[in-house]
Amino acid sequence: QIEFIQALSLPGNKEKTEPEISEAQRKRMTIEETQKSLPIYPFKEDLINAVKEYQILIIEGETGSGKTTQIPQYLHQAGFTDGGKKIGCTQPRRVAAMSVAARVAEEMSIKLGNEVGYSIRFEDCTSERTVIKYMTDGTLHREFLSEPDLNSYNVMIIDEAHERTLHTDILFGLVKDICRYRVDLKLLISSATLDAQKFSQFFDDAPIFRIPGRRFPVDIYYTKAPEADYIDACVVSILQIHATQPLGDILVFLTGQEEIETCQEILQDRVRRLGSRIKELVILPVYSNLPSDMQAKIFHPTPPNARKVVLATNIAETSLTIDNIIYVIDPGFCKQNNFNSRTGMESLVVVPISKASANQRAGRAGRVAAGKCFRLYTVWAYKNELEDNTVPEIQRMNLGNAVLMLKALGINDLVHFDFLDPPPHETLVLALEQLYALGALNHHGELTKLGRRMAEFPLDPMMGKMLLASEKYKCSEEIVSIAAMLSVNSAIFYRPKDKLVHADTARRNFFVVGGDHLVLLNIYKQWSDTDYSTQWCYENFLQYRSLKRARDVREQLVGLMQRVEMDLVSNPTEHVNIRKAITAGYFYHIARLSKGGHYKTVKHNQTVMIHPNSALFEDLPRWVVYHELVFTTKEYMRQITEIESKWLLEVAPHYYKSRELEDSTNVKMPKVMGKTKAELG
Ligand code: ADP
Ligand code: MG
């Protein structure tokens, strides 16, 4: 039992607290009736006229009012795609782009990929006929490289602008510039909240089109005391709501796939034990790597006399609207990519959300009727520990990739680029330095031939460099597999709770000398030798879907490699070359062993640890290169490979000096662990 206290309510603009349309009615509604019930519908003609009249329009309307799914259709019907030019609509998240495109195709009764399609990194579901194209903001950013004037578009909608992702922020500057010389291009900036005024000012006082939302009041409850384990608290709260509250679906906000899966497992387990003592509970996850057939399920109507529980990342905060949510459970956290501009270190961290986010989340409970939001933190924490707003990504992320793209677009003067909010100066400088060290820029800050080739790949500059370096080290076949496996940022290994021992043994069987990158390669190779067998994945506790995705990504990367005229060469026995190619890209991510089995990053002396899942967890090599840092209880390195320090002088001579790389002699290592692989034989 968790004790909640009600503290305040989110006011609504609806008098009645009863739904206007009952759930049963809603389920029977045709697509057309549903479209007409959306808050945006009465404004259809006004909106079309406004787009005809003004080149740039800011659109503000609450989440779920129909902006993303309806506006492109309205403009399509009004003739904005006549002549075959497209309407583009960007989304910060891939799931949103896919799911919304699928929905619009359904509403228009056509097959997805024909007139309506989507394009996300490593996946293009569009055709010659596509006139309504949803895409991630990153994809549009890349499209500028091949079509700098966006000539194939008549209308561009920058949607979910309030999310302020790094790509969206950079797009603001790019599209604003284009509108000056493409007077026929219509630009819509669409946002869920508050920021409309700011967007309007940025876009030379563009008019704001407001869509009044419908909002029922939401009662807000806080826990009496802080909760130590919020996953457990979620499970308890779900069951508590299920046992005591009238039917109505529940939306729970968690931080990522792993957490969602854990929560799902615990919940299913408890539900099973309660058996027929409770009503049916339909548990559905949603996160960015969820396969599309599973995504579609969250929109299926709840069966009668049952309750749906959606376990979501903050994708459900504004990007996706799930109808009939009455209860929201908000633990108050999200996963953020954080970048320390002093040390240049990036890591994924679970952080408290902002007040603005908390209120968005609560608002999701009041779309169809009066709702309740259960916050798993105290009212004191809300008032004192949450920031008012989330800091835009551009001010807290590594800009390496963004800067490379801008340079590739011929934008050299980044300091004077038209930013809505400029990034910190030191972050920009650091990005330039990093690109210089990687060889993508020369000392005038101009793009080199290598940099131009790196920009061809939709990859982080470090990974791009690794891939290109594999040419020199004659192992591009192997490196492209590794790059593809690293790009699948969901779990490769399957670890069911009741078979942990088996799963871990299976995982260890893939271990090879050298480290995790080579383990990934080993898995990929063995899998391809089975002709990509599903059964083999199953037997080896590997997630088939993740491997399949790696295969797709690999195919795309190979296509791009051919475009930049890179040969595919293989050198399966020469692991040193593979490790050198990895180091050539990731020499920023080097740590060396220091006292007590800890590692310190070379440049900034930051303490980091080997992740317990690593193949090198018990080895403790002196020098390692890591793929990423993840902060949980400690700063962990994930995907690690053993290297030799002298390679750093070979692959990054302008970044490392030999004196930095002397092995510290005062390091005392435990006996066995101190021995190198060679000594152990
Ligand atoms: P907004 O962009 O203003 O937040 P949307 O256009 O995303 O609003 O949502 C409008 C309506 O479309 C919502 O009621 C939502 O539930 C519904 N919807 C969106 N995607 C899907 C989908 N894939 N399946 C079913 N309904 C959907
Ligand atoms: Mg939307």
Closest Cα to atom 13 of ligand 1: 64
pLDDT surpasses 50 at 676: no
Q: What value does the mean pLDDT take over residues 258-287? A: 93
pLDDT surpasses 50 at 665: no
Residue 592, classed as helix, strand or coil, is strand
- How many A from CA of 69 to the centre of ligand 1? 6
CA distance 433 to 555: 31
pLDDT surpasses 60 at 318: yes
Of the pLDDT bands very low, low, confident and very high (cuts 50, 70, 90), residue 668 is very low
Dump pLDDT digits (tens) for 59-104: 999 889 999 999 999 999 999 999 889 999 999 998 899 999 999 9
Return the minimum-mean-pLDDT range out of 6-15, 122-131, 601-610. Answer: 6-15
Q: What value does the mean pLDDT take over residues 672-678? A: 39
Of the pLDDT bands very low, low, confident and very high (cuts 50, 70, 90), residue 16 is low
Compute CA 625 distance to the chain's CA centroid, rounded to the nearest angstrom: 24
Q: What value does the mean pLDDT take over residues 166-184? A: 96
Centre a 10 Å sphere on the Cβ of residue 289 and count the other Cβ atoms it contains: 16
Q: What value does the mean pLDDT take over residues 292-320? A: 90
Closest Cα to atom 21 of ligand 1: 103
63 CB within 6 A, ligand 1: yes
pLDDT surpasses 60 at 677: no
Q: Which residues have beta carbons under 5 A from ligand 2 (an ion)?
A: 67-68
Using DSSP bridges, classify how beta strands 56-61 and 208-211 pair: parallel, antiparallel or unpaired. parallel
Q: Please, what is the average pLDDT of the chain?
A: 91
- How many A from CA of 321 to the centre of ligand 1? 5
Q: What value does the mean pLDDT take over residues 343-361? A: 87
Specify the pTM.
0.89
Return the minimum-mean-pLDDT range out of 222-226, 274-278, 326-330, 572-576. Answer: 572-576
> What pLDDT is recorded for position 343?
67
- How many A from CA of 100 to the centre of ligand 2? 8
65 CB within 6 A, ligand 1: yes
- How many A from CA of 617 to the centre of ligand 2? 44
CA distance 60 to 71: 12
Return the minimum-mean-pLDDT range out of 135-149, 574-588, 590-604. Answer: 590-604
336 CB within 6 A, ligand 1: no
Dump pLDDT digits (tens) for 529-563: 999 999 999 999 999 989 998 999 999 999 999 99
- How many A from CA of 507 to the centre of ligand 2? 40
pLDDT surpasses 60 at 376: yes
39 CB within 6 A, ligand 1: no
Residue 441, classed as helix, strand or coil, is strand
CA distance 23 to 153: 39
ipTM beyond 0.90?
A: yes
Of the pLDDT bands very low, low, confident and very high (cuts 50, 70, 90), residue 664 is low
**H-only helix segments in 533-662:** 534-539, 544-563, 575-586, 645-651
pLDDT surpasses 80 at 632: no
Query: What are the Cα distances from residue 495, in Å, to 100, 271, 530?
Result: 32, 21, 22
Residue 657, classed as helix, strand or coil, is coil
> What pLDDT is recorded for position 643?
96
For tokens 């996953």, the residue is 231
265: its two tokens: 């497992």
pLDDT surpasses 60 at 405: yes
